[in-house]
Amino acid sequence: MLDSRGSYQPDNNRFNRRYNNADYSPHLSPGSSDELRRSISLGAQQREQSNLEPTEEEGKFCVCAVFKVISLKKALPLLKTRINRSFTLSQEQAAALLACAFFCLFPYRSRLSPVKEYENFPTPNFGKLYRAGPANKVEKLKCLLHYFNRVTKKMPNGVITFQRVSLYYSQYPKWNEMDTDLCDLNMTTGRKIEEIKNVLQVDFANKYIGGGVLGHGCVQEEIRFTICPEMIVSLLVCEAMEKNECIFLIGCEQYSKYKGYGDSFKYDGDFQDNTPRDSWGRRWCHVVAIDAIYFREPSEQYHMTLVERELLKAYTGFRPIGQGLEYEFGIATGNWGCGAFHGDRQLKGID
């Protein structure tokens, strides 16, 4: 809502209703699928063949993580394209899955030779992050290691939700018939998206969610996933997005501060996330991942077919699930699809 000065004032109750009406299952326990068991076994064989001896600390961490994953009761649900689905898991379960990814225990998810079922999914293993590269890879690792240090000392007891939304063709807006006015737009240069609370925060996503977070990438999406590592679990379960799809990441906690951007990115110490939790135990942090088009030739973006594609993508992410004030909410975004994707900021602002 807007106050008397025209500034956005968040309404927690309205924002909560938008998501708690969705088809979530907070008691779903994703866990050890056949893929995980095969992966863990193969990962152990590879370590044995390479004659690598883990340190005592590494060994304890690995054994603890592997047994936590094996003890889980159900297979991880995959959020496949063209299917509206969500799942919720505990922060402890997320930590166990991330520990397996840290030790590259998902070999069947390699981009080089993926099992057919996963050929259109991002790679969740941390292997590329360990290879030589720019200095910001080391800084990303500092953030991730800090996360593991935090959760092994004191495991958080909340839950997180991932939801895939796929808009049916019958739900597409008829742009040429619409006469809706543009909404209010408040501009600021002094705050980051993640610092604006109780609004829907935008992830400038790659169609493969997470983008280059486990590789060379270090811009908006990769930085957000690095300081909020629980978001990386989405790489395990989310297939690439199509033009009419978005992915919501709800309740993921921030663990690290940072400074800089791109090549200048640096880990800047611990962050204590005091964001309140909702009735499910999720942090009041709602992020929507929407992928813009990469324009190799910038002039292409003014073609109406591509303008309508970007409009549809934004509409899918921002569309209220009902009518009335109780379904209205603020959106925190920035230069979505600009910068490296060569988008026009004025055009995207109108979108």
Could you identify the residue written with the tokens 């995980």? 36
Catalytic residue among 221, 239, 278, 351: 221
Please indicate whether residue 310 is annotated as part of the active site.
no
Residues 233, 92 contacting (CB under 8 angstroms):
no
How open is the CA angle 83-203-148, to the nearest 5 degrees? 95
Number of alpha helices (DSSP H) and beta strands (DSSP E) in the chain:
9, 10
Q: How many Cα atoms within 13 Å fall on the side-chain side of residue 32?
A: 14
DSSP lists the bridge partners of residue 266 as 259
- Of 266, 94, 293, 264, which Cα lies nearest the Cα of 205? 293
DSSP lists the bridge partners of residue 288 as 202, 248
Please indicate whether residue 117 is annotated as part of the active site.
no
The number of beta carbons lying within 10 Å of the beta carbon of residue 141 is 16
- Of 161, 314, 143, which Cα lies nearest the Cα of 237? 161
The number of beta carbons lying within 10 Å of the beta carbon of residue 206 is 21
What does the DSSP 8-state code read for residue 29?
-
Catalytic residue among 222, 253, 278, 291: 222
- Of 139, 287, 268, 143, which Cα lies nearest the Cα of 216? 139
- Of 171, 155, 173, 201, which Cα lies nearest the Cα of 15? 201
- Of 90, 85, 96, 105, which Cα lies nearest the Cα of 28? 90
Catalytic residue among 35, 194, 203, 253: 203
Please indicate whether residue 326 is annotated as part of the active site.
no
What does the DSSP 8-state code read for residue 219?
S
* Catalytic site positions: 203, 221-222
